[in-house]
Amino acid sequence: MPSTDAAPLTPLALSEDLPPATVMPIWTPEGPMALWRSVGGTLSLAADRCPHRGMRLSHGFVRGEALSCIYHGWSYDQGGRCLRIPAHPDLEPPASIRVATGSVLEAGGVIWRARADDPSLPPDFPGFVPLRSLSFAVSRDVISRTLGGESAGPGILKGTLAGSAVILLCAEQAEGTSLIHLLAPADATLDQRIAVSRAAETLRRAAETGTTEAAA
Amino acid sequence: MTIGAMRDEWYPVGLRSKVDANGQQTLLMGEPIRLHESEGGEIVVETADGRRLPVVIGHGHVWTSLGQPDKPLFAIPEADQPGRRLVEVGVVRVRCSPLRAVENFLDIAHFPFVHTDILGAEPHTEVERYEVEIREHEDEVWATKVKFYQPQAAKSAAGGITTDYMYRVPAPTCSVLYKTCPARPGEWDVITLFVQPLTEELCDVWPWMALYDDVTPMTDLIHFQQMIFLQDRSILENQIPRRLPLDPGMEIPTRADLTSVAYRRWLKRHNYTYGAQLVAQ
C-alpha cells in the first residue's frame, strides 16, 4: 500500500469559493496553477501560463467547458488541449498546442491536489464543514505552535478557536507563507462561526507578529 | 547583466514641457540620471557622478543615451504636418520588460479581449493576413495592410468601423502606429509608444499622439489613451517570464503574430537584448 504520509494530498481551495464558470490562481510546489470549474461543474487544474504569449491563465475566463486566456482568447479544454484561436476562427489548432494539467479531487467541500498515480482518497472530517480560507505570512510550523493544537496527519491541525473545535488544513505557499483552510463544527451557529472566523484572524496576527513569544 | 548594443540608442526620459530648472530624477537602464533646464534654456542630462549625457529634443520628449548614438533620433514626418494636435499623454510605469511593452503595442489580436467594446469586440476576432518586412535601408520593422474591426476606434469615432493600421519599429523600445483617421479620411493619425527602460523588468511608457481632431477636449484625448494603456498594463504585469523570450520554443506564434515574430528577429539580429530572455528556462 502506498504511503500517503510521504506525498499527502494537498488542499487547494474550498469548493464554495470556486463556483461554476470561475478560475482562481493556485500555488503548488510544481509552480503556479490555474484552478477552474466549468459551467457544467467539472473541476480542472492547468499550468498558469498560456503557451502563446505567457499570460497567466488564472486571469482568464470560463465559458462552457473551456478555460480561455484573457490576452487573445485562446481556449483550452479540461485535458489542456487548445480548442480555439480567435484570431484564426477557421483554424483547427494543432494538437501540440496544450497546457500541462494536474489531477484534483473534491470531497466534503474541499478541493485537493491529487496525483494520477496515487489512488488515495482525501481525508474526511465527519462533523466539520468548511468555513473560510486565510493566507498567513508564516510557515505551517509557526501556525502550529501559535495554535497550540495537535497534528492530525500531514498538514492537518486540530485545535480550539473561540471555544469551538476546529480543523486547519495547511498548504505551504511560496516564500515561507501558508494557505489555511479552516473547518468548523457542522452544528455551530452563525454567531459561533463568526466568532471562529474572527479568532482565526487573531491567530494570524499572533502568528505573524509574535512568533518568538508563541514559540516560547 | 550587460546592456549590449542597446546602450547606444536614444531613449525618452521625460516630457520636454515638464522639465524646468528644478530638474527631475529618473533611471535609465539601471543608472540614476538627473535632467534639468539650464538658465539658457538648454536641457542637461547627467549621471549621478556628473557625466553629461547626449541630449536631443524630439516628439515632445527629452531623449538621451548612456552610450554614443551614431544616428539622429528617428523622424516622424507625418507628425510635423500642419493642423495636427500633439497630445502629451504622460507616463505609465509598468513592471515588465520594455521589449514586452513594445511587442504588446504591435499586437492587434488582443483588442477584443483586453480593450473590449473599444478597440475590438467579439465575434470580430479574426486577424486577416497583413504584410511585414524589415526595411533594410531604414533598418526598421514595418507592418502594413493591417485591418481590424473596431467598435470605437478613437475618441472621435462615433460607431464601429474597419480600421486600417501600419506599424513601424524605428528603435528597439519605440513604436509608431499609423491609423485610419475618422475625422479626416485619407490621412493617418499618429500614435506612438516611447518606452524608457528603467531596468530589464521595469519601464516607464510615454505614449504620444499627433492627431487630426479639432473637437475632442485635450483631457478626453489623454484619458482615452491612458485607459487603453492601463488595460494593457494588466496584461504586461502578468506575463511569464517577465522578459521577452527571443529564442523559439518558449512561446507559440501564429500568423496573426507576424509583426511580433519580425520584431523579435530584428532584436536578435542587432543584439538588442536588454529586457530579453535568450535561453528557454
pLDDT one-digit tens code per residue, A73-85: 999 999 999 999 9
Residues 6+ apart with CB under 8 A from B193: B101, B102, B105, B174, B175, B177, B205, B206, B207
Question: Minimal Cα–Cα distance from A79 to chain B, Å?
Answer: 19
| A70 vs A116, more confident | A70
Residue B185: band (very low, low, confident or very high) from pLDDT cuts 50, 70, 90: confident
Query: Chain A residues with CB inside 8 Å of B255's CB?
Result: 87-88
Judge: B114–A71 Cβ closer than 8 Å, yes or no: yes
**Residue A212 CB neighbour total at 10 angstroms:** 7
Between B155 and A114, whose confidence is greater? Answer: A114
Confidence of residue B78 (pLDDT cuts 50, 70, 90): very high
First to last CA, chain A: 39
Q: Please report which confidence band the pLDDT of residue A97 belongs to, taking 50, 70 and 90 as the band edges.
A: very high
Question: What b/e readout covers B48-79, taking b as 16+ CB neighbours within 10 angstroms?
Answer: eeeeebebeebbbbbbbbbeebeeebbebeeb
List pLDDT tens digits, range A199-212: 999 999 999 997 54
State the smallest CA–CA distance between residue A39 and chain B in angstroms.
20
Residue A35, pLDDT score: 98
Model pLDDT, residue A7: 53
Is residue A52 scored above 60 in pLDDT?
yes
Q: Is the Cβ of B114 closer than 8 Å to some Cβ of chain A?
A: yes
| C-alpha cell at position A89 | 476562427
Nearest residue of chain B to residue A71 (CA atoms): B110
Residue A213 pLDDT exceeds 80: no
pLDDT bracket for residue A142 (50, 70, 90): very high
> What residues of B are in contact with residue A70 (Cβ under 8 Å)?
113-114, 235
For residue A91, the chain B residues in CB contact (below 8 A) are 254
CB pair distance less than 8 Å for B122 and A86: yes
* C-alpha cell, B75: 523622424
Report CB contact under 8 Å: A52, B251.
Answer: yes
Q: How confident is the model at residue B281, as a pLDDT? A: 52
Strand partners, A33: A26, A47
Task: Please answer whether residues A64 and A57 qualify as being in contact, where contact means their C-beta atoms are separated by less than 8 angstroms.
Answer: no
Q: How confident is the model at residue B280 (pLDDT cuts 50, 70, 90)?
A: low
Minimum CA–CA partner of A68 in chain B: B113
How is domain A10-114 classified at the architecture level of CATH?
Answer: 3-layer Sandwich (2.102)
pLDDT digits (tens, 9 = 90+) for A188-202: 999 999 999 999 999
CB pairs under 8 A between A and B: 65
Q: Which of the pair, B155 or B4, is modelled with greater confidence?
A: B4
B215 touches A: beta carbon within 8 Å: no
> In this predicted structure, what is the pLDDT of residue B155?
67
Grid cell of B235 as nine digits: 496584461
Of A1-15, B13-27, B173-187, B199-213, the poorest mean pLDDT is in: A1-15
Q: For B147-184, write each residue's pLDDT tens digit.
A: 999 887 666 667 778 899 999 999 999 999 999 887 88
Provide the shortest C-alpha distance from residue A19 to chain B (in Å).
Answer: 22
Residues sharing a CB contact under 8 Å with residue B22, sequence separation 6 or more, in sequence order: B36
ipTM: 0.95
Q: How far is A71 from chain B (nearest CA, A)?
A: 6
Residues of B in contact with A48 (CB under 8 A): 240
What average pLDDT does the structure give for chain B?
95
Which residues from A are below 8 Å from B when comparing CB atoms?
32, 48-49, 51-56, 59, 69-73, 85-89, 91, 97
Q: Which domains does chain B have, with CATH numbers?
A: 4-64 (2.20.25.680), 83-277 (3.90.380.10)
Domain boundaries, chain A: 10-114, 128-215
Question: What would the mean pLDDT of B83-102 be, rounded to a whole number?
Answer: 97
- Residue B156's pLDDT is 67
pLDDT for A109:
97
Asked if the C-beta of B157 comes within 8 angstroms of chain A's C-beta atoms, the answer is no
Contacts of B126 in chain A (CB under 8 A): 86-89
* Confidence at residue A5, expressed as pLDDT on a 0 to 100 scale: 38
Of A193, A23, A22, A45, nearest to A115 by C-alpha is: A45
Provide the residue type at B162 as one letter.
Answer: T
Mean pLDDT of B75-98: 97
Residue B87 confidence (pLDDT) above 70: yes
Calculate mean pLDDT across residues B59-67.
Answer: 98
Nearest CA in chain A to B233: A71
Q: What is the mean predicted confidence (pLDDT) over B241-246? A: 96
Give the architecture (CATH level 2) of A128-215.
Answer: 2-Layer Sandwich (3.30)
Return residues 123-142 of B near A (CB < 8 Å).
125-127
User: How high is the pLDDT of residue A153?
Assistant: 86
> What pLDDT digit, counting tens, does each position of B189-239 carry?
999 999 999 999 999 999 999 999 999 999 999 999 999 999 999 999 999
Angle between the B98-105 and B218-236 helix axes, to the nearest 10 degrees? 120
Give the per-residue pLDDT at A121: 87
